[in-house]
Amino acid sequence: MARPGRRLADRSRLSAADMSRVAVFAGLIAVLGVPGSFALFGNAVPVTLQSMGILLCGAILGARRGALAVLVLLALVATGLPLLAGGRGGLGVFAGPSVGYLAGWVAAAAVVGWLVERAGRRPALPWVLGACLTGSAVVLVIGVPVQSFVTGVPLGETMLISAAFLPGDAAKAVFAAVVTTGTQRAYPAAAPGARRVAAADGPPAPGEG
């Protein structure tokens, strides 16, 4: 029988397939920035499709791998690669009004993934949608106060301006939920809940049947 410590180490280690998925989804977030961005009502933080990629990362990869994919993207951005919508990149991005939203991306991917993992091998669309909407809310909860602090605009005014994000965030959550459930129905073993169960079981130890 495999020792608990060994199984814990196995579960914490990323396989080559996992690392490939992380890289692919980091690339997906970058690609979703290609259409560009636009500002609503003079908001210092633009609207982009990349936040939808964050939801997909968490819902399809799970909490740990989804958050890691976002961290990989942000690390590349920090090196100067223009991977954010509008061709933004470099350390200056992390001193601007969007920094709270970028931090919120990591938290949102983790929260969405954690919720979807708890839904089992075949998460239902309403559950995944609820997880994606929760993830969108996490981004705003972190991003709006930080934006207010960085820009010096009162929090109430920043919240009012940022309310313009809500319709688009809801639409992106619906799209991400539909894509996620379709993917997981086609490939049940790819669901975060299925991978979580498989990781918990662990590979059989030598001598186990």
pLDDT digits (tens, 9 = 90+) for 112-166: 999 999 988 788 999 999 999 999 999 999 999 999 999 999 999 999 999 999 9
| Domain presence at residue 113 | yes
The answer to the question of residue 64 being in a domain is yes
Instruction: Compute the distance between CA of residue 139 and CA of residue 173 in angstroms, rounded to an integer.
Output: 12
Query: What is the domain-level CATH number for residue 132?
Result: 1.10.1760.20
Amino acid identity, residue 4? P
Which residues lie across from 69 on neighbouring strands? none
Q: What is the sign, positive or negative, of the torsion defined by CA atoms of 118, 123, 124, 130?
A: positive
Could you tell me the pTM of the whole model?
A: 0.85
Average pLDDT over residues 168-196: 85
pLDDT in tens, 55-70: 999 999 999 999 999 9
Number of domains in the chain: 1
Q: Is residue 82 part of a domain?
A: yes
177 within domain boundaries = yes
CA atoms of 169 and 167, how far apart (whole Å): 5
Q: Is residue 84 a part of any domain in this protein?
A: yes
- What is the Cα–Cα distance from 91 to 167, expressed in whole angstroms? 30
Q: Is there a domain that residue 3 lies in?
A: no
Angle 165-27-69 from CA coordinates, rounded to 5°? 80
As to burial, measured by CB atoms within 10 angstroms (0-12 exposed, 13-18 middle, 19+ buried), residue 153 is: middle
97 is in which domain, residue-wise?
A: 16-201
Triad 106, 115, 167: Cα angle to 5°? 70
> Does residue 38 sit in helix, strand or coil?
strand
Asked whether residue 144 is assigned to any structural domain, the reply reads yes
Query: Are the CB atoms for 164 and 43 separated by under 8 Å?
Result: yes
